[in-house]
Chains A and B, each alone.
Chain A
């Protein structure tokens, strides 16, 4: 843990996680460049296109990179909170879709309401739906002892198909031609954050949430309990003062809610309608975002931006350097592996990731 694990505070400096993150970025760049060269592409042209497409101008940065970073920051926070508590929620993708469906449903139905009521209603619906999508895996873990890794992944597929069903069925646009919903009510849309750009207040919501979670994790009793359970549920339980199961249930549901919020914010802030391929896998990218941030909420703000830039730049990379956009998945994988590898190689002292103690969590 970054500063929570017993002894961790003494064994290491607070800058070590930052060093690991920077090292991971460097390694990723190096290995990525070698792989691009091997594939017959020019890494320098790729990097140039990526920079142009993500931070090439103020407008590109605000309207593309910042906008793309919002769902990544929110899902990244969801994953960070869950992993902190030892909950292996790989289900942010499905929870995001559940939130998006609920937000679109409320945004379509609530046409008569004023924005001051409708916008909060849309976001609350997204939060609730995301949490609801986490209920089944959560119950299976605490009641039946079925590990959440596989169940949350399975729920992702169910969520994606459920959203597809919605846009082909009950929520399909009124002409019944395209697989999408009608545009949600004007009053359901998130207002712009910077006038004249595409940046919406969802970015402020994500940033405030990151701040709030930091304070909560490091300054509150509940945050201490989460860090204690994540470090060692047995020890937390034996201490007699922490109900590990309650912490686990709470973190599981809140993590689902925050991932659901990501879907709601995307619908209300960017697309203004539900599409079946709304997310290009943000819920999975979120794992890279959270790990690179050392599971620190404020760090997620930074790494979410970084991955937002990566996704924004991928389009330009494909256009200008001919590198397939699917390459982004490889970069994400390299980042995760680099963080894991550096963390393991450091060895002495604490570790960046909370206790590796899922014992059979994945299988049964």
Chain B
């Protein structure tokens, strides 16, 4: 492997890892509060369509990211209304929200652009190389010549870590995820914390979706989220609910996805469909190998009711 090939591979790894990182960082926050949002996939696809429509309407990819974030948050709000507000089962609610998100975006897209799916051409998020940093040998261009959304993920991971583990508000959030009754006794408003945490997760999933549409594809396609929401949830487990490790795990999965293009480019004659299955298989293997040592927030996925 030449150095040029290696740096291309690293660049692709980061590019593919960023949407996973954004969604997984958001999910880390909601899971730390005791809410597992399987509807993340729905927020991502809504973010992709919301981002595409916003970018078209305003003629700006940057504003598209904002509308994508809003769309992701809207979907998460539906999830939170049922899973937190009503205390309904989180897994089933999340599945419904994903189904609905995929269906709704498909319907809106077909209604607006026709069933044949005319190629949308969108204003795209251009790569924003950071001066000096991009010139670091090997990793510089991979890490620091990305779309601006990538830098959001880099900055967010340490910020969220600090917020979660070093501030009173972060402590409250974790308390809600570990022992909601005790948190309530200490005066924390459990439902409100969970609701807000879920919304934050939705915002970041929406940004991840907008990134897919605006920085990757430059277009929207039905089902373009392709299971990234589920992989992001696995990434949270691999990153042990720690934002810094979650960022690392997401980049690792970006590398796994980049590997498929890379091996193909190197002329390995493996069938394309098996390459497509590779990230999911790797996620399974990683869950099996690593999860034994990780510990989920104690109240994860358990609806909370005040008595």
Partners in one complex: yes
Residues of chain A whose beta carbon lies under 8 Å from any beta carbon of chain B: 39-40, 88, 90, 136, 140, 144-146, 149-151, 153-155, 157-158, 161-162, 164-165, 168-169, 281, 284-285, 287-288, 291, 318, 322-334, 336-337, 340-341, 343-345, 353, 356-364
In the assembled complex, the CB of A317 is this many whole angstroms from the nearest CB of chain B, namely 11
The verdict on B158 contacting chain A, using a C-beta distance below 8 Å, is no
CB contact under 8 A between A150 and B234, given known A359-B300, A359-B302: yes
In the assembled complex, the CB of B283 is this many whole angstroms from the nearest CB of chain A, namely 6
In the assembled complex, the CB of A98 is this many whole angstroms from the nearest CB of chain B, namely 13
| Contacting pair A164 B273 (CB below 8 A) | yes
In the assembled complex, the CB of A80 is this many whole angstroms from the nearest CB of chain B, namely 13
CB contact under 8 A between A363 and B31, given known A144-B292, A169-B271: yes
The verdict on B155 contacting chain A, using a C-beta distance below 8 Å, is no
| Contacting pair A333 B100 (CB below 8 A) | yes
CB contact under 8 A between A146 and B92, given known A154-B230, A157-B227, A362-B36: no
In the assembled complex, the CB of B41 is this many whole angstroms from the nearest CB of chain A, namely 9
| Contacting pair B103 A329 (CB below 8 A) | yes
Can you show 29 pairs from A to B with CB atoms below 8 A apart?
A146-B287, A153-B227, A154-B227, A165-B271, A165-B277, A281-B99, A287-B95, A287-B99, A288-B96, A318-B115, A324-B107, A324-B110, A324-B111, A326-B109, A328-B103, A329-B102, A333-B99, A334-B100, A337-B93, A343-B88, A344-B82, A344-B87, A356-B89, A358-B302, A362-B300, A363-B36, A363-B237, A363-B296, A363-B300
Partner of B95, one of A336, A344, A364: A336
User: Could you tell me the distance between the alpha carbons of A155 and B300 in the complex, rounded to whole angstroms?
Assistant: 23
Q: Which residues of A contact B86 (CB under 8 A)?
A: 340-341, 344-345
| Contacting pair A364 B111 (CB below 8 A) | no
Count of chain B residues near A, Cβ 8 A: 62
| Contacting pair B300 A161 (CB below 8 A) | no
CB contact under 8 A between A161 and B284, given known A149-B38, A327-B107, A363-B236: no
Q: Which residues of B contact A164 (CB under 8 A)?
A: 273, 276
The verdict on B175 contacting chain A, using a C-beta distance below 8 Å, is no
The verdict on B1 contacting chain A, using a C-beta distance below 8 Å, is no
| Contacting pair A358 B271 (CB below 8 A) | no
User: Could you tell me the distance between the alpha carbons of A287 and B97 in the complex, rounded to whole angstroms?
Assistant: 12
Q: State which residues 195-237 of B face A: CB under 8 Å.
A: 222, 226-227, 230-231, 233-234, 236-237
In the assembled complex, the CB of A55 is this many whole angstroms from the nearest CB of chain B, namely 23
Q: Which residues of B contact A328 (CB under 8 A)?
A: 103
| Contacting pair B106 A326 (CB below 8 A) | yes
In the assembled complex, the CB of A196 is this many whole angstroms from the nearest CB of chain B, namely 32
